[in-house]
């Protein structure tokens, strides 16, 4: 676990200072907001306590920068588009080879960055490995694995309902509303200053959530569901979530660096948004998906799990959502977004612009870190879908 502040930093009652931060001085209240997020998303371990997700590899690969030359011939405005979309880092992998990369000033291939909700897709893959081994049955009720959630919104939902976010739960995901459930969960996770009456930790928070019993009918995006999945992972493996992700996934991807995850006062890893890693290691998650569960000759998750994920959920469940205004006929499955396009592309996404984009048609993976000023807008998502498809068509 890391300290809240860098060594030697001055402490104040409510506004910790970060002397090397540019621009401005982020605090626990402001670090997720522009302009502070441009620094903070690469220095999360200096703001919130974290635990490592070990890569356990003795292989260290030296990388020369590839730049954007492979793509600029087809996309002469690419650098401008990356700058305009607040890009911190971008890597394009085609056929298992990095063909292009880009880093803003201060970033390198070895700089970690917060993934936000791309962390959810990593959780989905971790669950998939446990389903493959018979340790989790997606059709089983959540309270079978986590008795403490009996009586909550999640208790009588199935694991598959949670994976596909079709749980009937009362949860406000408004990132700008101080009274929303998502901000309450941020406070419990240590991402914002606590308020009197907040639950002690994420375990206690999840048990407070209520809802109806009409699971499986409608898609409802809810970050808390991923933390329910992480609790199931802990209970069936007997490991802390960070250690389970390391053992089941991260240590087998051929990653060059440890990842990390923020942890709350109860030691719970913030599965829905708290992972940080390097952009090239993140691209390997996309390569695993593209390889139908195999990377570098090692099967990590079954081809059947990847095929079920790519097949998507029920598009009718997401009718009327902002997601379908960008991706008509799109759906959500196993913590991944499925576009429903003729290309068969799909992706993982986190607020403020974190992406893994997988395009089977061109055998391309694009990983992107950003620090958008706003958490999410329909316009930003549309812009990035166009950007990624242009990249996948370019540099052939």
**What is the percentage of the chain residues whose pLDDT exceeds 90?**
88
58 is catalytic: no
Quickly state the pLDDT bin for 10 (edges 50, 70, 90): very low
Catalytic residue among 27, 54, 117, 246: 117
CA–CA distance, 216 with 141 (Å, rounded to integer): 13
Q: Note whether 345 and 339 are within 8 A (CB).
A: yes
Name residue 52's beta-bridge partners. 260
Mean pLDDT, range 302-326, rounded to an integer: 97
CA–CA distance, 343 with 349 (Å, rounded to integer): 18
* DSSP single-letter state for residue 25: -
Quickly state the pLDDT bin for 3 (edges 50, 70, 90): very low
Average pLDDT, the chain: 92
pTM of the model: 0.92
Return the closest-CA partner of residue 232 out of 211, 206, 200. 206
SS3 149: helix
The CATH code of domain 50-393 reads 3.40.710.10
Residue 249 scores a pLDDT above 60 = yes
Q: Note whether 136 and 145 are within 8 A (CB).
A: yes
Residue 151 scores a pLDDT above 90 = yes
Residue 65: what pLDDT?
63
Length of the chain: 396
Phi and psi dihedrals of 324, rounded to 5?
-75, -15
Task: For residue range 57-76, list pLDDT tens digits in order.
Answer: 544 454 556 789 999 999 99
* DSSP single-letter state for residue 27: -
Mean pLDDT is lowest, of 7-21, 315-329, 373-387, for 7-21
Task: For residue range 28-47, list pLDDT tens digits in order.
Answer: 999 999 999 999 999 999 99
Task: For residue range 93-109, list pLDDT tens digits in order.
Answer: 999 999 999 999 999 99
**How many Cβ atoms from other residues are within 10 Å of residue 42's Cβ?**
20
């Amino acid at each position: 676990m890391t300290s809240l502040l860098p060594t030697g930093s001055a402490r104040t009652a409510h506004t910790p200072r970060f002397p090397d931060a540019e621009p401005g001085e982020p605090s626990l209240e402001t670090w997720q907001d522009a302009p502070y997020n441009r620094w903070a998303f690469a220095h999360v371990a200096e703001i919130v306590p974290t635990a490592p997700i070990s890569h356990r590899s003795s292989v260290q690969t030296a990388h020369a920068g590839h730049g954007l030359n492979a793509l600029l011939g087809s996309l002469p405005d690419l650098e401008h588009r990356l700058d305009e979309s607040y890009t911190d880092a971008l890597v394009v992998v085609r056929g298992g080879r990095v063909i292009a990369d880009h880093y803003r000033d201060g970033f390198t291939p070895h700089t970690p960055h917060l993934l936000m909700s791309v962390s959810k897709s990593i959780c989905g893959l971790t669950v998939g490995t446990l389903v493959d081994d018979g340790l989790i049955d997606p059709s089983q009720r959540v309270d079978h694995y986590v008795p403490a959630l009996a009586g909550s919104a999640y208790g009588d939902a199935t694991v598959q309902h949670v994976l596909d976010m079709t749980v009937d739960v009362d949860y406000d995901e408004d990132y700008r509303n101080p009274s929303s459930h998502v901000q309450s969960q941020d406070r419990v996770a240590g991402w914002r200053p606590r308020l009197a009456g907040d639950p002690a930790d994420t375990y206690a928070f999840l048990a407070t959530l209520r809802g109806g019993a009409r699971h499986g009918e409608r898609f409802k995006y809810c970050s808390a569901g991923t933390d329910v999945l992480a609790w199931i992972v802990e209970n069936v493996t007997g490991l802390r979530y960070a250690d389970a992700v390391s053992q089941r996934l991260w240590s087998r991807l051929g990653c060059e660096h440890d990842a990390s995850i923020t942890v709350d006062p109860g030691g719970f890893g913030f599965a829905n948004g708290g992972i940080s890693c390097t952009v090239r290691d993140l691209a390997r998650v996309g390569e695993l998906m593209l390889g139908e569960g195999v990377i570098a000759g090692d099967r990590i998750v079954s081809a059947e799990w990847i095929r079920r994920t790519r097949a998507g959920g029920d598009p009718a469940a997401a009718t009327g959502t902002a997601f379908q205004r960008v991706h008509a006929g799109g759906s959500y499955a196993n913590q991944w977004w499925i576009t429903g396009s003729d290309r068969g592309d799909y992706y993982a996404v986190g607020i403020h612009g974190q992406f893994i984009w997988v395009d089977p048609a061109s055998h391309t993976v694009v990983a992107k870190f950003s620090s958008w000023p706003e958490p999410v807008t329909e316009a930003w998502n549309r812009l990035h879908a166009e950007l990624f498809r242009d990249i996948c068509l370019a540099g052939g």
